[in-house]
């Protein structure tokens, strides 16, 4: 029961069920400290689809870690998904620090960390006894917010300077407020500081949902909020674009309630983001196609002020 939402009630979603969380799960990696994870999953059920979630590089100390994004991750897990959250190398809290090659963004290491999780899913399950044997290793999606969207896009097939980082084990993806095109679309200062934003989305053929805030002001470019929708425009695999009304980069609170990343705490916008991303994942995982269709219809009717949706 959420008394703070209004229009989002018109978007159908399953009832929540109890979850279990394991943290920290530690995976050994060569020549560096262990990678720490959080796994959140339903208490009951088998063949649980897996979502790897990549956090952003925002201003908070704790949100960019395995301990952030609870409003989104908990919602998904309460409704049937197993969500794995690494503390990336770029994290201020538990990352690799400022002195190693690749600091402070560690964009390559972030991709490698996500791939390492897939390589060691059996080890993840061994450290999570209540979940062991219940994960479906053949139904895997990746999702990421902001810089986590950059990490996710590379795993989904986006090219950077012609290099392919895709992982065929990942069958779907959600990009939440992800960076748009680089190169000439960036300001000169941003192009110099963030050359890894020069991403080519045209090689992504895996199905993806792109989510943007209608009022998101990208500081890296002279373009407006539509910059964050470039993956939908460019990627052949992008089949839906969800633009949440009245909010910016924080999408109403996905990173954390009252967090610095949440520039506008909006319960209705957050709920729309949670419900529609879950509906899209459920359709991709073959769990439930009706909820996505009903949500799409609601955005054309009673919930039309919440968001707009484009499909191709």
Encode pLDDT of 202-231 as tens digits: 999 999 999 999 999 999 999 999 999 999
Res. 257: pLDDT tops 90:
no
State phi, psi for 45 to the nearest 5 degrees. Answer: 105, 155
CA distances 278 to 43, 63, 108, 170, Å, are 18, 21, 28, 17
The per-residue pLDDT for 264 is 84
Q: DSSP label at 305?
A: T
Question: What is the full DSSP assignment across 174-241?
Answer: EEES-----GGGS-HHHHHH-GGG-EEGGG--S-EEEEEETT---TTSSS-GGGGGHHHHH-TTEEEE
The per-residue pLDDT for 182 is 95
Q: DSSP label at 143?
A: E
The per-residue pLDDT for 258 is 78
CB 310 within 8 A of CB 240: yes
The residue-averaged pLDDT of 188-199 equals 95
The residue-averaged pLDDT of 222-250 equals 97
pLDDT exceeding 70 applies to what percent of the chain? 100
How does residue 133 score in pLDDT terms, banded at 50, 70 and 90?
very high
Measured in residues, the chain has a length of 312
Check whether domain 7-311 has CATH 3.10.20.30, yes or no:
no
Give just the sign of the alpha carbon dihedral 144, 190, 248, 233: negative
The residue-averaged pLDDT of 193-203 equals 96
pTM of the model: 0.97
CB 1 within 8 A of CB 8: no
Q: What is the dihedral of CA 66, 72, 78, 80, to 10 degrees?
A: -90
The string of pLDDT tens digits covering residues 70-128 is: 999 999 999 999 999 999 999 999 999 999 999 999 999 999 999 999 999 999 999 99
SS3 252: coil
Res. 14: pLDDT tops 90:
yes
> Of 108, 197, 204, whose CA–CA distance to 158 is shortest?
204
> Of 203, 156, 155, 147, whose CA–CA distance to 176 is shortest?
147
The residue-averaged pLDDT of 51-76 equals 96
> Of 269, 202, 204, whose CA–CA distance to 242 is shortest?
269
* H or E element in which residue 26 lies: strand 19-27
Give just the sign of the alpha carbon dihedral 93, 34, 86, 192: positive
Q: What angle do CA 162, 166, 168 make, to 5 degrees?
A: 145
Cα–Cα dist 309/287, whole Å: 21
CB 172 within 8 A of CB 82: no
Six token digits for residue 228:
């964050």
Domain boundaries, the chain: 7-311
How does residue 1 score in pLDDT terms, banded at 50, 70 and 90?
confident
> Of 81, 74, 281, whose CA–CA distance to 171 is shortest?
281
* Residues contacting residue 212 through CB under 8 Å, at least 6 positions apart: 177, 225, 226, 228, 229, 241, 242, 243, 244
* H or E element in which residue 311 lies: strand 307-311
Res. 305: pLDDT tops 90:
yes
> Of 213, 151, 221, whose CA–CA distance to 181 is shortest?
221
Res. 263: pLDDT tops 90:
no
Q: Which residue has the tokens 């959140």?
A: 40
């Amino acid at each position: 029961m959420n008394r703070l939402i209004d229009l989002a009630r018109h978007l159908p979603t399953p009832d929540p069920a109890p979850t279990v969380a394991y943290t920290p799960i530690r995976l050994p990696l060569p020549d560096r400290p262990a990678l720490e994870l959080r796994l959140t999953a339903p208490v009951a059920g088998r063949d649980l689809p897996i979502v790897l979630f990549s956090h952003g590089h925002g201003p908070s100390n704790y949100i960019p870690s395995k301990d952030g994004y609870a409003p989104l991750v908990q919602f998904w897990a309460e409704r049937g998904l197993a969500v794995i959250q690494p503390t990336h190398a770029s994290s201020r809290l538990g990352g690799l620090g400022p002195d190693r090659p690749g600091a402070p963004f560690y964009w390559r290491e972030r991709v490698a960390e996500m791939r390492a999780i897939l390589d060691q899913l059996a080890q993840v399950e061994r450290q999570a006894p209540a979940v062991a044997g219940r994960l479906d290793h053949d139904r895997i999606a990746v999702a990421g917010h902001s810089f986590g969207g950059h990490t996710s896009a590379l795993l989904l097939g986006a090219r950077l300077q012609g290099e392919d980082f895709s992982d065929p084990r990942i069958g779907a993806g959600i990009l939440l407020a992800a960076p748009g095109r680089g190169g000439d679309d960036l300001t000169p200062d941003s192009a110099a500081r963030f050359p890894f934003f020069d991403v080519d989305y045209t090689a992504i053929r895996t199905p993806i949902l792109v989510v943007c805030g209608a009022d998101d002001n990208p500081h890296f470019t002279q373009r407006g909020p539509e910059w964050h929708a470039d993956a939908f425009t460019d990627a052949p695999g992008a089949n839906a674009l969800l633009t949440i009304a009245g909010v910016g980069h924080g999408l109403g609170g996905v990173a954390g309630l009252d967090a610095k990343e949440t520039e506008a705490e909006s319960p209705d916008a957050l709920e729309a983001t949670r419900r529609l991303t879950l509906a899209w994942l459920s359709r991709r995982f073959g769990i439930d196609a009706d909820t996505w269709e009903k949500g799409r219809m609601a955005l054309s009717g009673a919930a039309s002020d919440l968001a707009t949706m484009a499909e191709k």
